[in-house]
Amino acid sequence: MCGRFTLVQVEKIPTRFNAQIIGEINLRKRYNISPNQPVPIVFQESPNKVEEMIWGLIPHWAEDPKIGNKLINARAETLLKKPAFKESFLRRRCLVPADGFYEWKKLGKEKIPYYIKMKDSSLFAFAGLYDVWKSPDGRLIKTFTIITTEPNELVKEIHNRMPVILRKEYEEIWINKEETDVKKLQSLLVPYPAEEMEAYPVSKKVNSPSYDSEDLIKPVKIYIIPKNEQSQFDI
């Protein structure tokens, strides 16, 4: 799954995605984006605009918004089989700007956080789906989920899933209103080439959703010690 990511180069979004920021969006650098937080999104309905949406998809038909806590990710292989995602896959696709994400590797009894990004540190887009839910008091709440797929050669050493990162030339196809070819859309949901990415261990401070600081993406050393003891971080 993908449960944390970064958006440090937020000021580059308008140029990178050829989209205008709409409304009041917090443009601060984000080093630890977590579920239930607002994120700038480029979406199918208005592909030339950027709006904030909450991470954790609430289907428009949902009675309880808490379902969004369980829908932060959507498996690419089952999008058309899940009621929560099928309609959005066909009509409400989006781009989730990011410049890196975190996954946790099991090492004995511990889980070691790794930061994964492009080798050139460039901004990219996760493939996402969104929906609009109407609250009992009439507010329209836009939410999204990040699609995941099998890991590439780099990520599989850390985790058994990875978020779908779209190649830049496929982003326009993904949010094109006129694109209805299901097989073509599904063909985009593949692991990103491992040779263009890098990963390294980072501080366990990332485990706390409330901690959001630049030091989270700095590499740390892991000391491997006997199995009956715990690994130690150089932090």
Please list the active-site residues: 2, 103
DSSP secondary structure of 111-158: EEEEEEEETT---EEEEEEEEEEE-TTS-EEEEEEEEEE---TTGGGT
Q: Are 98 and 5 spatial neighbours (Cβ–Cβ below 8 Å)?
A: yes
Q: Are 197 and 117 spatial neighbours (Cβ–Cβ below 8 Å)?
A: yes
| Long-range pairs for 200-203: beta carbons < 8 A, 24 or more residues apart | 200/114, 200/115, 201/105, 201/112, 201/113, 201/114, 201/115, 201/233, 202/102, 202/113, 202/114, 202/115, 203/113, 203/233, 203/235
Report d(CA 57, CA 178) in Å as an integer: 23
Facing residues of 5 across strands? 33, 101
Report d(CA 73, CA 167) in Å as an integer: 19
Report d(CA 118, CA 123) in Å as an integer: 8
